[in-house]
Structure 1
Amino acid sequence: MENIRDNEVYSTGTVNNDKYSPESEAEEEPTALTRSRLYLAGLGIFGALVAGTVIYMSVKMAVQRENINDLTTERNILIKERKLVENQELRQDNDNGCYTCLDDWILFRQKCYMFYDKPAPWKTWEQSRRFCQKNSSDLVVIGDLEEQEFVSKHIKYYHSEHHGYWIGLQHVNNTWTWVDGQRDTLGMEDRVNHDSYSTVPVTKDKLSPERDESQLISVWSFIHEDQSSGEAEEEPTAFTKSRLYLVGLGIFVGLVTTTLIYMSVRMATVLENIKDLKIKKSQLLLETTIMERQINALTLEIDKECGPCPDDWILFRQKCYMFYDEPAPWKTWEQSRRFCQDRRADLLAIGDLVEQKFINKHIKYYHSEHHGYWIGLQYVNNTWTWVDGQRDTLGFWAKNTVTSPGPKALVIPSQNPSESWKKENNEFLNKFICEHKARLRSN
């Protein structure tokens, strides 16, 4: 019996030893801590992949923005080129298709207008008129209400309500007179509408501090609840720390994923904008090409039909000359100049003796020995000055003249070319000579 009991005890001990042996513990599944570490490692890899994707898309976004800037710049250049082409096409329709307005000038009813909009310092009335005359023109003469409305449409408010744009109207001999010698019959007053300018305030939406703070408190409360899920008086175990890391990484991945979605949407919008810009660029290129072909065709047609000078003008050394030989009544110096300027020309400015001989060859005696042809020479600031702003250095004045000298110059027919100029007053009625540069043919 004792042997049997000993065997029973031994058998019982053997069974108990087999149940708690180390070999049985090694065969069990991984603990919760091990699984958390595996999850943590997986999420870390996923977060790294997402972060890499975000960086890649950020670089792509920067490249696409650069492409958009380039396309926008090209589009603006094409728009400017198109405007230039349109202006060139518009200029063909003036003076029978042969003569047009200069760059930055505006065509209206067979006249060209230049609105001086340079920054300060600006000019006095006399300086403004000399500036116009140097460009073979004069200060504007407003003929009717329609022309006044055109001018008002193209001027704008600047600096103060006391500033405006000089026009060719001045008070002479108790009368308001235009620079072409005509008396003013309109009597218009300028008006400025200050209410036509307004500003639009620009504001930016910002998140309120309360919203940001509430989001921060929500995250902290969530983490704090996770931390307080264990025993309050003990240090967090390794398993609790792993959970905290897991929660933090999950929040990070959520934020990165949201950013990735936002950037994907932005990328789609950017690509759509690029597509639209490319389409518009192609359309502008096509329209510009068509307009350039039309201008080339018009230019060829003009070259065939138009010579370097208008009809009844004479070509000499790449300039065109018009000798006014109409019967009386003739014109004053100012009226003669305005007549030339209306034809995109100006009174004659003689450059040398060769040109003077050419002029004397084409003028003829009429009415009396005191009459001649007005030229673009006048007495300004104690100096005889041409209408192009150059001081006279030739001095081809006639000798022994009997009339009292005036501030304007005539050229007298049948005289020695080097002694054929005569000083006269503006009111004396004479014929005159206009001059402008010849139109050169395109190759």
Structure 2
Amino acid sequence: MSRRGLLGIAGAGLVALGASAATGYAVGRPAAEPAPASRSYPITGAHQTGISTPAQDRLHFATFDLLTEDRDDVVELLRTWTAAADRMMRGLPAGELGPSSGPYDAPPDDTGETEDLDASHLTITFGFGPSFFEGADGAARFGLDGRKPALLADLPHFPADALEDARCGGDIAVQACADDPQVAVHAIRNLARLAFGTASVRWSQLGYGRTSTTSTSQSTPRNLFGFKDGTANIKAEEPAALEDHVWVQPEDSASDPGAAWLAGGSYLVARRIRMTIETWDRSSLREQETITGRTKGSGAPLSGGDEHTEPDFTVTGRGDVPLIDPASHVALAHPSANGGARMLRRGYNYTDGSDGLGRLDAGLFFLCYVRDPATQYIPLQNTLARDDLLSEYLRHTGSGLWAVPPGLPAGSTTGGTDGAYVGQTLFEA
């Protein structure tokens, strides 16, 4: 096991960040040879990276609560974070001096654990929650009266939710994805360091083994139940689908004036879903496939074909019983059962050790991006929580919704008072 493979066991530095556990990264792997600089993404573009970008294998997700009510402090934090994210996504230290230079009697401006590593396809994605715009008393924060999108509201309590307050919400969400877990953790660690005095970590989650494919160049992964997941996910190579289902459009502000600044952005839904692993593992293969609606081996729908064959819910078998159970996950989650609504999923497996009864605290850290959470996510989750056969094996323990601003204009520079920053369209439009 490499030193970075041990990160999930050691959990070094994560206690201070309030991470629940790091065992999700306890996966051995040989040390990789240095990769070329091309393993990096630019921070500029019409949309933030980390959404339709090909999904990496590792995740460190964190939410922050602001400790200030001063608008200038928030803008300065966003400027600082954007400049640091720009550098780290290019494989550079978070600060210009780096971890081993600068004043000897002052803390370094980078923590140093990625000094010998490349960018590892790091993407850092930022989003603003409902509490970013309004306090508990409903009063606007940071002079953002009339700037909160109507669609940006706390998700409702769905049937059978077992939410833990310590795993819900947050003023700002930051999603760091990379091919190397140490690179993803380094990103969140340094953003938390730079936020000292202005924002603090509310909760965080480590993820491994992506559970969706966001590019046709990627094979379909498996979730911890052993089934292929995300077969029909929206792909980066589907620009029309992205426009229809993921990116907020300028015309959306006609019905939601508060969302005018969000054109080119999206809405991020996060759900921490614990799986009752031990109960599932004692279920028969027949039952597992009936509940899922797909074969466990190939991932093909039970109506026939291969993994990518469109399910046929009209095909029946013995006694005219549908081959795909109408209450199976595939049947209820299919766009045809949800008014054609689709979403871009970007979830990860997680394993946070065991509970006091020796059961794995493991499951799916569900992430999805949608243009309209009120029509694309909330009705679907209500249906799944109420009718899905799979829901018996799931328990939702964490939740949140954030508005994800658009990307930075091409050619933008970051840093200083003149640099572009994430959220600029919100504060300066």
TM-score, normalized by the shorter chain, greater than 0.5: no
Which TM-score tier does this pair reach, normalised by the shorter chain? under 0.3
More strand by share: 2
- Report 1 or 2 for greater relative contact order, CA contacts < 8 Å, sequence distance ≥ 6: 2
Q: TM-score, normalised by structure 2?
A: 0.22
Q: TM-score, normalised by structure 1?
A: 0.21
More helix by share: 1
Larger Rg: 1
